[in-house]
Structure 1
Amino acid sequence: MVVYASSPVQKVIGEFEIDSILSSSPEMLWEETRDFSGISESFFFEYFANKEVGHAIKIKNTLMYDKPKSIKDDFNVAPPQSFAYLR
């Protein structure tokens, strides 16, 4: 996966591999991810409000680019709204 930082950066800043996809109740998911999520408990439960199941991506092998890349010039893709497939 490559990581695109939206405004004001508007560049691809790095990449990572997916280790696994976690799926469980929001309560169980919070217990499993809270030490690594980078968000507050209140934000987490607001995001998953009224949901029986939540999903999270466990990542590995992160790589932060020394120099961010242009998504258009280096990947030939328009900036995504949420995600885009690269070939």
Structure 2
Amino acid sequence: MYFSLKTFVIITACLLSGCAAVQYNDGDKVSIQSDGWYGLDSLHDTAVKACQQYGKSKAVYIHSANMNPNLPKGSGVQNTIWKCEP
């Protein structure tokens, strides 16, 4: 698998400092990838901003899951899904 230098730098920065980033946004659903210690309040703020890019004003929590299913629930990198609403 080939990664650009920019991708490598972003991933390294996230691993060292922790981060949350929008992984997918189609205006109906938003997927946010984050470290396990990020709270839903912080992720909600990010999801609302992502929904606002499509003229929506709310983000409703749907589901969270570990990116690595072998880790205990709530630990490691999380993938959180939000639904955008008017």
* Class of the TM-score when normalised by the shorter of the 2 chains: under 0.3
TM-score if structure 1 supplies the norm length? Answer: 0.23
TM-score if structure 2 supplies the norm length? Answer: 0.24
Q: Larger Cα Rg: Structure 1 or Structure 2? A: 1
Answer 1 or 2: which has greater helix percent. Answer: 2
